[in-house]
Homo-oligomer: A and B are copies of this chain.
Amino acid sequence: MALREEILEVSKDILIQDGFSKMSMRRIARRANVTATSIYLYFENKDDLLLALIEESINDLKSALQEVVVPGKDFIQQLEDMAKAYIRFALEHPKEYEIIYMVRPEEMPKYPREKFNEVRSAYELLAGIISRGKEQNLIEVDDPLISAYTIWAQIHGVVSVIINKRLDTRIQREKFTEQAVDHIIKGFIIQKTPA
């Protein structure tokens, strides 16, 4: 049982230090002082091991978000803090963040249902905040869960562009993220269209 945790830890280390392409079963095994086949005693295959890593990373992200949630806080401030916490986590732990959205669909046809429920609670953290904003008539939303996903997706896009090194070198990263958060939140606040 201890080996399972050891494998997960070593895998994550390799992923962060040497990159995804170097994370082979044999390399993981070597660093855990076992043979590659031993990994199959605790994980079905490499994808299954990756799923476990995804799960861990999602929990870390979830914790980072939970930290900035303060019940009484101003709604817009709350949204902004959460968005920034998300971006901070992603940029401070890029590899860990990548794990979450890394696994290619063709290698994993369906994202397993039981894992989905784990992630869902993260979205529902955001959906809960949006619900409170709706109750206070600060925003007009149809379904808070859809809105949570929409915000989430937009923020993911922002960090994804940065992490994948697709941001124009002329553009300052901080200015970019600040503006993005500003626009994403603006898109949610009720505003009268100009006469």
Contact = CB atoms under 8 A, between A and B. Distances in A.
Contact of A168 (B123, B184, B193): B123
A59 interface: no
Contact of A171 (B98, B146, B175): B146
Interface string A133-165: 000000000110111011011111110110111
A149 B165 contact: no
A106 interface: yes
A73 interface: no
Interface string A115-133: 0100110010000000000
Contacts of A145: 168, 170-171
Contact of A106 (B21, B107, B153, B186): B21
Contacts of A123: 168
Question: Copies per complex?
Answer: 2
A168 B104 contact: no
Interface in A157-195: 157-158, 160-161, 163-171, 175-176, 179-180, 182-194
By DSSP majority rule, is chain A's interface helix, strand, loop, or mixed?
A: helix
Contacts of A157: 152-158, 160
A71 interface: no
Contacts of A116: 168-169
Contacts of A184: 154, 183, 187
A185 B110 CA distance: 32
A67 B112 CA distance: 38
A105 interface: yes
7 contacts: A101-B166, A105-B163, A146-B171, A149-B161, A149-B171, A150-B179, A157-B158
Interface of A: 18-21, 98, 101-102, 104-107, 110-111, 116, 119-120, 123, 142-143, 145-147, 149-150, 152-158, 160-161, 163-171, 175-176, 179-180, 182-194
